[in-house]
């Protein structure tokens, strides 16, 4: 059996710490696969081509997945609002009960929520499908946000001496790899035209529940590693100096502010279809990655280890409140059929010089091509009294 001194050396050299980090990263790999599932299936959820009814924006379509924009965004809104309400209490619970209880409880909620969401597809064609989807997203939201707190708490404990920001970055990378896998797997099915077949359609949803089950298994393993490692280290880890907590670069506050400032133009660019969306998306991904790697490691540095869970819960709650409000607003905007944005984009003040010259040339050609009687008709249009009405008045 490895002794206390050996484990201490492993934790300092990184071997044991990075083993804990690997299984800690796997906690949310499957849950982020499930979290982004509605986004890659937006067309499937909101499409009404297979409906036999004539309702275009069906709120409760019983023979297809056609949802209104409000209902579709509600899948994200209910996740965000549940997260905002649960994570504060979850952070306090994790601080009191420990990482292991939190990892078991919240990873199980992720499995239960993703399984419920997948099971809702078996009720396709009934009025039960959409409410069951909401129940699944509610359970999933109760688990995933709180599981992230457990994940961050474990990371902050094992990497508090050095490499803290790097460890948070690796954790974030693994989570987003789950989202990437979601997009690529859906694309493969779609290219082979297999996705609309029932077997592949249902298996795609069940794969999310299976990956969440792998997260639950990882919770068991990381709980064992965390408990055994803490016991071997004893009180030595809590008595070490905090002087090495900053990473190589530091300047977390400045980096977070710059990333937030540089993110502002991205959403403006996404409104214009002439700008290739990959440019804005890549820009957003870079700024978000640096912002997350700068912001989240600061929380364990400014609070004690005993209150990291509560602090993470408060921060996550505020974040989810903003996401929840945004989803409701976006749903209302997308549900409207007006062309205010097109009018804004097509205004003379918002087009390029080349486009403006082309528009003026087309307008001149149109005026030159009008018949001579056009001027007479223009005079009649400019005359407030039409000829028929003038005769009647006279």
Q: Could you tell me the CATH number of the domain that includes residue 350?
A: 1.20.1250.20
Q: Residue 13: its pLDDT value, please?
A: 52
Higher pLDDT among residues 202 and 307, named by residue: 307
287, 302, 317 - which closes a domain: 302
Which residue segment(s) compose the domain that 282 sits in? 249-302
Residue 376 lies in a domain: no
Q: What sign does the CA torsion over 363, 368, 371, 377 have? A: positive
Higher pLDDT among residues 13 and 264, named by residue: 264
Say if residue 386's pLDDT is above 60. no
Residue 71 lies in a domain: yes
Tell whether 284 and 224 lie within a shared domain: no
Tell whether 324 and 288 lie within a shared domain: no
Tell whether 138 and 116 lie within a shared domain: yes
Higher pLDDT among residues 15 and 3, named by residue: 15
Rounded to an integer, what distance in angstroms lies between the CA atom of residue 241 and that of residue 67?
56
Q: Residue 135: its pLDDT value, please?
A: 92
Q: Residue 240: its pLDDT value, please?
A: 41
Tell whether 339 and 325 lie within a shared domain: yes
Q: Residue 79: its pLDDT value, please?
A: 87
Higher pLDDT among residues 29 and 187, named by residue: 29
Rounded to an integer, what distance in angstroms lies between the CA atom of residue 168 and that of residue 72?
31
- Based on the structure, what is the number of domains in the chain? 2
Rounded to an integer, what distance in angstroms lies between the CA atom of residue 8 and that of residue 16?
9
Compute the mean pLDDT over every residue in the chain, rounded to the nearest whole number: 73
Report yes or no: 100 and 223 within 8 Å, Cβ to Cβ. yes
Residue 335 lies in a domain: yes
Please tell me the least confidently modeled range out of 243-257, 286-300, 347-361.
Answer: 243-257
Q: Residue 106: its pLDDT value, please?
A: 92
Say if residue 330's pLDDT is above 50. yes
Q: Residue 68: its pLDDT value, please?
A: 74
Say if residue 24's pLDDT is above 60. yes
Tell whether 263 and 192 lie within a shared domain: no
Please tell me the least confidently modeled range out of 93-102, 182-191, 365-374.
Answer: 365-374
Q: Residue 220: its pLDDT value, please?
A: 92
Q: Residue 221: its pLDDT value, please?
A: 92
Residue 100 lies in a domain: yes
**CA angle 120-126-127, nearest 5°?**
90
276, 302, 328 - which closes a domain: 302
356: tokens are 């403006």
Name the region of 40 (left: φ>0; alpha: ψ -120 to 50; beta: rest).
alpha
Mean pLDDT of 101-123: 89
pLDDT tens digits for range 159-179: 876 777 788 888 888 888 888
Higher pLDDT among residues 154 and 186, named by residue: 154
Residue 366 lies in a domain: no
Residue 1 lies in a domain: no
Confidence of residue 373 (pLDDT cuts 50, 70, 90): very low
Closest CA to 156 of 355, 296, 56, 346: 296
Say if residue 378's pLDDT is above 60. no
Say if residue 56's pLDDT is above 50. no
Tell whether 324 and 346 lie within a shared domain: yes
Confidence of residue 342 (pLDDT cuts 50, 70, 90): low
Say if residue 382's pLDDT is above 70. no
286 burial via Cβ count (<10 Å: 0-12, 13-18, 19+): middle
Residue 387 lies in a domain: no
Tell whether 226 and 271 lie within a shared domain: no
Residue 295 lies in a domain: yes
Tell whether 287 and 192 lie within a shared domain: no
Q: Show Cβ contacts of residue 311 under 8 Å, excluding neighbours closer than 6 positions.
A: 91, 299, 302, 303
Tell whether 26 and 71 lie within a shared domain: yes
């Amino acid at each position: 059996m490895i002794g206390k001194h050996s484990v201490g050396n492993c934790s300092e050299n990184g071997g044991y710490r990075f083993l804990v980090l690997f299984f800690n990263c796997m906690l949310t790999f499957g849950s982020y696969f499930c979290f982004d599932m509605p986004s890659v299936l937006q067309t499937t959820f909101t499409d009404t081509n297979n409906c036999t009814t004539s309702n275009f924006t069906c709120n409760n379509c019983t023979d297809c997945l056609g949802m209104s924009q409000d209902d579709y965004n509600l899948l994200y809104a209910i996740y965000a609002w549940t997260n905002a309400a649960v994570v504060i209490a979850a952070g306090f619970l994790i601080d009191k009960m420990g990482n292991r209880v939190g990892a078991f409880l919240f990873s199980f909620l992720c499995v239960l929520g993703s399984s419920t969401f997948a099971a809702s597809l078996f009720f396709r064609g009934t009025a039960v499908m959409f409410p069951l989807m909401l129940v699944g997203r509610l359970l999933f939201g109760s688990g995933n946000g709180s599981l992230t707190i457990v994940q961050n708490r474990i990371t902050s404990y094992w990497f508090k001496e050095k490499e803290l920001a790097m460890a948070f970055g690796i954790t974030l990378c693994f989570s987003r790899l789950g989202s990437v896998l979601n997009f690529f797997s859906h694309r493969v099915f779609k290219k082979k035209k297999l996705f609309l077949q029932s077997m592949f359609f249902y298996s795609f949803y069940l794969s999310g529940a299976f990956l969440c089950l792998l997260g639950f298994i990882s919770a068991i393993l990381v709980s064992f590693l965390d408990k055994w490692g803490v016991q071997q280290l004893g009180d030595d880890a809590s008595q070490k100096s905090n002087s090495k907590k900053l990473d190589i670069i530091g300047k977390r506050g400045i980096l977070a502010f710059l990333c937030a400032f540089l993110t502002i133009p991205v959403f403006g660019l996404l409104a214009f279809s002439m700008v290739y969306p990959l440019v804005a998306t890549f820009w957003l991904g870079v700024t978000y990655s640096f912002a997350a790697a700068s912001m989240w490691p600061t929380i364990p540095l400014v609070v004690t280890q005993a209150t990291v869970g509560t602090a993470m819960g408060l921060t996550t709650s505020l974040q989810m409140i903003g996401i929840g409000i945004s989803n409701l607003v976006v749903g209302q905007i997308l549900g409207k059929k007006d062309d205010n944005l097109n009018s804004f984009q097509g205004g003379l003040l918002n087009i390029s010089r080349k486009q403006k010259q082309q528009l003026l040339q087309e307008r001149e050609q149109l005026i030159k091509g009008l018949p001579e009687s056009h001027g007479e008709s223009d005079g009649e249009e400019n005359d407030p009294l039409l000829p028929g009405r003038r005769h009647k008045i006279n």
